[in-house]
Amino acid sequence: MTVRMSEMTWMEFDKKIKDGAITILPIGACEQHGPHLPLNVDTVIAEGFAERLAGRVGAVVAPTINYGYRSKPLSGGGPLFPGTVDLSGETLIHLVFDILEELIKDGAKNIIVLSCHFENEAFVCEAVDLVSQKYGNKAKMLIANWWDPMPVEIIDQVFTEVPFPGWAFEHAAVTETSLMMAMAPELVHEDRMVDTQGVTPCPYNIYPVPADAVPETGVLAPARSSSAARGQLIIDSVLIELEKMCSKEFK
């Protein structure tokens, strides 16, 4: 049977929840990812991990939130790229709050919010905190992504040809490109991959966002050496960690 809540009837979903299934809420973004990747990279990856994890732990995947918090220049290219369509902080807080509240009212006791857009985190946490204040121990909620649980040794294995630039700059670069090649190869334009010079880190934020803060392609670090195999390596290693998380927290 499908793991997608959206494709279940209400009775199928009801049974899953009554049987104690974990609910996973994927959150992506609509954000530029350079000339070789589509705008929905964060969404595809969030759904990809959510469905794979759900398959392993018997979870239900709620409909995806397709838009995320404002892209920042040094982690996503920023708001000036056409195609980057961002939510404000308050909107994202309320959106996540409402969905979690409704899931809890429907009986969900174990929830994972799986956000694969770097900038979402603080606002997702705020939403979950507010839900938690309202519902106390009625539900346990985890907020996860794919990069924090990824073991350090996998970073070494993935970055054999180009240096690891840090997670913030891993935007449209080796890890995201490889994940897309493994999860949705038909959306990757390998021929359009450009060798970016990388961006200069800046230890402070500047507003208004300077037009020249990032390379004009929107790629923050080289994607060279990306491959479906590397993507699969990441997927496999992260799923093991996410499964461990489920075992430990939702016993």
Does 168 engage in binding with a copy of itself (CB under 8 A)? no
Cα distance between residue 50 and residue 201, in whole Å: 31
Binding a copy of itself (rule: CB under 8 A), the pick from 20, 58, 156, 189 is 189
C-alpha 22, offset from chain centre: 18
Non-local (6+) Cβ contacts of 58 within 8 A are: 21, 22
Residue 117 designated active-site: yes
Axis crossing angle, helix 174-183 with helix 41-57, rounded to the nearest 10? 60
Number of residues located near a copy of itself, criterion CB under 8 A: 87
Strand spans (E) along 81-165: 86-87, 110-115, 140-144
Active site (annotated) includes residue 94: no
1 binds a copy of itself (CB under 8 A): no
- Which one, 31 or 178, has the nearer CB to a copy of itself? 31
Tokens for 167, please give them: 């997670």
Return the residue of 152, 204, 212, 251 that touches a copy of itself, per CB under 8 A: 204
DSSP state of 119: G
Please report whether residue 137 would count as binding a copy of itself according to CB under 8 A.
yes
**In which residue are the tokens 């020249």 written?**
212
**Would you call 31 a catalytic residue per the annotation?**
yes
CB proximity list for 75: less than 8 A, separation 6 or greater: 118, 119, 168, 169, 171, 220
47 labelled catalytic: no
List the interface residues with a copy of itself, window 102-131 (CB under 8 A): 102-103, 105-107, 119, 121-123, 125-126, 128-131
Find the binder of a copy of itself among 140, 154, 162, 215 (CB under 8 A): 140
To the nearest whole angstrom, how small is the minimum distance from the Cβ of residue 120 to a copy of itself?
10
Residues 2-31 binding a copy of itself (CB under 8 A) are 5-11, 13-14, 17, 30
Q: Is 195 in the site for a copy of itself (CB under 8 A)?
A: no
Which of 157, 160, 205, 247 contacts a copy of itself by CB under 8 A? 205
59's tokens = 């979870």
Measured from the CB of residue 227, what is the shortest distance to a copy of itself in angstroms? 20
Q: Which is nearer to a copy of itself, 103 or 239 (CB)?
A: 103
Residue 206 binds a copy of itself, judged by CB under 8 A: yes
Q: Which of 36, 86, 170, 171 is catalytic?
A: 171
Query: Residue 33, interface with a copy of itself (CB under 8 A)?
Result: yes
User: 209 near 75, Cβ under 8 Å?
Assistant: no
For residue 185, give the DSSP letter: G
Residue 124 · residue 96 · CB < 8 Å: yes
Rounded distance, CA 183 to CA 70, Å? Answer: 25
Q: Active-site residues: which are they?
A: 31, 33, 42, 117, 119, 171, 176
